[in-house]
């Protein structure tokens, strides 16, 4: 089984506010970012995971994906616990992402969601901030 470790982050400047996602495939040394428009921080975190799973399938191909173990690492303890079934998902606006992630998970042999401290997620976090800076989103302090 092929294991792929992916660091994801989503962030918004304001809640909701200008938002972006950052995704880093550590073993493949591939980095992606995308501006998301005006969404909440939690929506940005979920969209980063959706992006990561879709991009995984694209990078490794359909034939290899069903034999792959995907490990999504995120510094959002809430999102990791929701996707792992530890916490209930109460925000109705996030259900569409939860269902999309659930469906995408079926394409792989195994998908794990792992909480990591923010210090271990610097690359994905930097990608989010660079994307927001590029889009001209003002920094909030």
Asked if 69 and 3 count as a contact pair (C-beta separation under 8 A), the reply is: yes
For the chain, what percent of residues have pLDDT higher than 70? 96
Instruction: Give the pLDDT score at 110.
Output: 97
Asked if 28 and 59 count as a contact pair (C-beta separation under 8 A), the reply is: yes
- Whether 141 has a pLDDT exceeding 50, the answer reads no
What is 2-134's CATH topology?
Nucleotidyltransferase; domain 5 (3.30.420)
- Cα separation, 103 vs 126, in Å, equals 29
Angle 115-5-39 (CA atoms, 0-180°, nearest 5)?
60
The domain ranges of the chain are 2-134
- Cβ burial 23-48 (10 Å sphere, 16+ → b, else e): bbbeeeeebbbbebeebbbbbbbbbb
Task: Name the pTM for this structure.
Answer: 0.94
Kindly report, residue by residue over 36-74, the tens digit of the pLDDT. Answer: 999 999 999 999 999 999 999 999 988 899 999 999 999
3-state secondary structure of 135: coil
- Cα separation, 44 vs 75, in Å, equals 13
């Amino acid at each position: 089984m092929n294991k792929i470790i992916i660091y994801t982050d989503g962030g918004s400047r304001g809640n909701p506010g200008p938002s972006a996602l950052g995704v880093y495939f550590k073993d493949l040394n591939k980095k992606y970012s995308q501006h998301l428009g005006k969404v909440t921080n939690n929506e940005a975190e979920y969209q980063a995971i959706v992006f990561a799973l879709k991009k995984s399938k694209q990078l490794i191909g359909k034939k290899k994906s069903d034999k792959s173990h995907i490990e999504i690492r995120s510094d959002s303890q809430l999102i990791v616990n929701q996707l792992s079934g530890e916490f209930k998902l109460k925000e109705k606006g996030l259900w569409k992402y939860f269902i999309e992630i659930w469906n995408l998970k079926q394409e792989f042999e195994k998908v794990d969601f792992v909480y990591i401290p923010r210090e271990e997620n610097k690359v994905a976090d930097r990608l989010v901030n660079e994307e927001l800076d590029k889009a001209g989103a003002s920094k909030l302090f």
